[in-house]
Amino acid sequence: MKMQLGEIAKAVSAQNDTSAWNEIEISSVAFDSRHLTAGALFVPLEGERDGHEYVQNALKNGAVATLWKADHGEAPTDLPVLVVEDPLKALQALSQHYLLKINPKVVAITGSNGKTTTKDMVAAILATQFNVTKTMENFNNEIGVPVTILSMEPNTEVLVIEMGMDRPGQLDFLSRLVEPDVAIITMIGEAHIEFFGTRDKIADAKMEITHGLKEDGTFIYDGDEPLLVERAKKITQRQRTFGRSKDDDMYATAVKDTDTQTTFTANEWPDQEMNVPMIGDYNVNNALAALSVAKLYRISPQAVAKAFTNLNLTENRAEWIDGSAGERILSDVYNSNPTAVKEVMAAFSKVATHGQRRVVLGDMLELGDQADALHAGLQTAFDPQLIQDVYLVGPHMKALYTALQDKFDAAHLHLYGTDEQEKLMTQLKADLKPTDIVLIKGSHGIHLENVLAALQ
């Protein structure tokens, strides 16, 4: 981005006189004083830490101006300050102003699983023909979406935005903020069921992504999910479905998968094989959602196939990593929920190996009162003929540990507290052979990335 401070002051309704600073150039916006670039506008947010305490640090690291909350005491005088009612609301207002200024097409994506992978696929496909900006890392909430918008280069033609949620109303706000041309729901699972109670209520909340959908926009969703099919009847905009049924607008044919890639064709392009460099045929649905966008934007099947081959995926989503003992590790340590675990377990269980298949699972968070039952329910994903050793981490995994005791003996079934990762690492290192393969998956709050790092 590139904006003068005077323009920003108007966009955020600054309460003080900024005329002396109007021509100062702002080249980026940041809320972390440690990670910003020269020319940044600093946004002091209040959370566990109060960002106002870090304005001087931001100045030292290259910020040339800052927002300041009006009721937060005396503002600093050694750099330009825009006094606003609420820095977060000001950030959101600035992002909306900049979005209208650049005016790209907007593709918004949500879902209980697959939204990050789908985002990466959609962005790669559209980048074959357009200048694209996409959500980086996990910048998918009320802070991350505005920051993503403000990261756009002026020549951006399509903005691909991932939208997360953990409460009702969140997607309503984000959708109305960006007013998407295309809204995608990848699937409905049990993620965040702690806050919603039922899959029906999760579906209601996911449908909020359509609340800001432009009148001439398109809603793309999993046509094999009855909860979405039922709710889509109320949507007046154009719709396209994807899935595995011939009733879907875009469906897969001839699916084949290996430990490193999944190949398929689609009904609308039957002569073009698509090769996705990811394990698990569950990723075919994510690819079908991306193909649906490709059809809308008239991207050729050959260009789509090339984009899949060169796919640049967000880290820690089902990626193979070499361990220090020679073992292969399937790392999926960013998040976890029952649907995702079962899908990746099914794919992992089919991977050929001359050694043992070992599974490390951490607690799935935000499952509320149903947590123990949902953890225990994972036992159907374990076949002792295919999985030889199981390592479980966290208090809720005790329910799965109990459920698996009739399948695995004590030598091959292990349970650890969240504070016993060192013990787990020691046990794993002692057990591992160069021919083994290991799956590591858990919610980010369990921090199994520490276990992954110890094995690398």
Binding region: 111-117
Cβ atoms within 10 Å of 383's Cβ, excluding its own: 12
Contacts of 345 (CB under 8 A, 6+ apart): 359, 378, 381, 382, 387, 439
In whole angstroms, what is the distance from residue 180 CA to residue 197 CA?
Answer: 28
Rounded to whole angstroms, the Cα distance separating 7 from 14 reads 10
Pick the closest to residue 69 from 57, 83, 54 (CA basis).
83
Assess contact for 87 and 45: CB atoms under 8 A.
yes
Instruction: Pick out the residues of the known binding site for ATP.
Output: 111-117
Residue 122: both structure tokens together: 């959609």
φ and ψ at residue 250, rounded to 5 degrees: -125, 115
- For residue 417, count other CB atoms closer than 10 A to its CB: 13
Strand partners, 438: 329, 358
